[in-house]
């Protein structure tokens, strides 16, 4: 079988998919005598140009570069500078490990927050405490994470005011966002797995059908195929972290939608089969890195029937029985209705999709790459796809403010 069941529009996103991205050298560790950990400052919070200040500085105010973060191809949410605190830092006569930033989204906790904890788990004979900067909306979340990591979930763990320590140990990131990884990265997930017994489902599929924010329209059509072929359909938002780890640890085949769900393969055993279902033609980063560090057999399948372009982050999404999914099922020997036609966009989803699309994308300029894909048919609607493209062009001008500019009206991105 081939690893990628994707449209031509998606191919450009996979040009470096199979490149070796492992960091072969030993990871660096900085030790800052009398180091100061600064509370995180979020600049332009929740805007596309958001960035952070904070991290670790020395007693002279110099920023420790190893405490910074950056994402491939973007400065969004980068942490590349400290600042001068406006109050005198509180001094604590102890050595601590800087754990980086506790993010508010589960997927980013997996791929970013966990990336420094290799040192805490594997190279910490003195049992030094680990402390974190924290995003404003992250407090109160992820208590199970900290329980499984044996890290106290209290105010001493999270930096809320400038704090100077006898020494701050700053481990290098073992995973750099969409860029590369080090073999130390998986130690933290192995440690958490060791606390949870494996469940007994060989084949599992994580669904978004019960999620309240950003469900996938027509998802049931895809889930029914996996259910018919022996997969246990599970809803992770209805499960505790320990329950999720248990089923992931025990699975031999793990199917899920691209994004956060697919990142949870970090709790699977090495060599697990993973089936990633794309809900847009723009895939999620990271997946190739997990293939490498977990030695996975991964199949990626385009399941998008989106009438208009959507990213894997913002949606909305309309999925279904695509030609790519049919090809995978044939190669895999999956059961499915042989009379069922592919690439049919159910007409009852067109109106709600357009409504959600306008509401979701009013502040974002979404590229029209998906229109390069093979045409999808629209069930019971006679007009051609080019008609939808014309509507999209108008909607795009409205949502990006270009229409108001043409009409010489004030305002940007409002509808």
pLDDT value of residue 350 = 85
pLDDT value of residue 372 = 53
Sign of the alpha-carbon torsion through 277, 314, 69, 267: negative
pLDDT value of residue 410 = 42
pLDDT value of residue 411 = 42
pLDDT value of residue 283 = 77
Q: Which residues of the chain have pLDDT under 70?
A: 45-48, 214, 362-375, 379-389, 392-393, 395-415
pLDDT value of residue 355 = 84
pLDDT value of residue 369 = 57
pTM over 0.75: yes
pLDDT value of residue 346 = 87
pLDDT value of residue 59 = 96
- Name the percent of the chain lying above pLDDT 70: 87
The answer to whether 53 and 68 are in contact (CB under 8 A) is no
- Please name the residues in contact with 198: beta carbons below 8 A apart, sequence gap of 6 or more: 246, 249, 250
- Overall residue count recorded for the chain in this entry: 415
**Distance (Å, rounded) from C-alpha 389 to C-alpha 395?**
10
pLDDT value of residue 413 = 36
pLDDT value of residue 405 = 55
Q: Single out the residue of 255, 247, 234, 218 nearest to residue 329, CA to CA.
A: 255
pLDDT value of residue 415 = 31
């Amino acid at each position: 079988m081939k690893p990628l069941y994707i449209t031509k529009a998606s191919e450009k996103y996979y040009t470096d998919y199979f490149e070796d991205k492992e960091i072969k050298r030993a990871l660096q560790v900085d030790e800052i005598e009398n180091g100061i950990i600064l509370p995180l400052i979020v600049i332009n919070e929740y805007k596309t140009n958001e960035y952070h200040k904070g991290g670790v500085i020395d007693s002279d105010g110099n920023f420790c570069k190893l405490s910074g973060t950056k994402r491939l191809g973007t400065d969004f949410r980068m942490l590349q500078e400290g600042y001068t605190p406006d109050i005198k830092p509180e001094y604590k006569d102890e050595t601590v490990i800087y754990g980086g930033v506790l993010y508010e989204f589960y997927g980013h906790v997996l791929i970013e927050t966990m990336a420094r904890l290799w040192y805490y788990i594997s190279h910490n004979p003195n049992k030094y405490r680990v402390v974190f900067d924290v995003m404003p909306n992250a407090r109160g979340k992820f208590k199970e994470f900290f329980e499984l990591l044996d890290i106290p979930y209290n105010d001493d763990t999270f930096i809320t005011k400038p704090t100077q320590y006898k020494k701050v140990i700053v481990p290098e990131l073992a995973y750099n966002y969409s860029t590369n990884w080090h073999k130390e990265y998986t130690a933290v997930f192995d440690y958490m797995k060791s606390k949870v017994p494996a469940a007994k489902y060989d084949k599992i599929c994580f669904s978004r059908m019960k999620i309240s924010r950003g469900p996938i329209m027509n998802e049931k059509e895809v889930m029914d195929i996996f259910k018919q072929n022996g997969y246990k359909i599970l809803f992770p938002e209805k499960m505790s972290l320990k329950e999720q780890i248990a089923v992931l640890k025990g699975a031999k085949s793990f199917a899920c939608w691209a994004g956060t769900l697919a990142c949870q393969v970090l709790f699977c055993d090495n060599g697990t089969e993973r089936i990633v279902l794309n809900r847009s033609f723009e895939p999620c980063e990271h997946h190739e890195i997990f293939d490498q560090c977990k030695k996975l057999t991964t199949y990626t399948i385009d399941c998008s029937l989106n009438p208009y372009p959507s990213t894997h982050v913002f949606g909305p999404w309309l999925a279904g029985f695509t030609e790519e999914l049919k090809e995978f099922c044939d190669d895999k020997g999956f059961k499915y209705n042989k009379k069922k036609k592919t690439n049919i966009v159910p007409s009852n989803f067109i109106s709600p999709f357009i409504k959600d699309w306008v509401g979701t994308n009013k502040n974002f300029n979404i590229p029209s790459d998906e229109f390069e894909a093979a045409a999808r048919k629209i069930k019971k609607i006679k007009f051609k796809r080019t008609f939808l493209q014309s509507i999209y062009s108008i909607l795009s001008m409205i949502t990006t403010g270009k229409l108001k500019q043409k009409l010489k009206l004030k305002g940007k991105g409002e509808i």
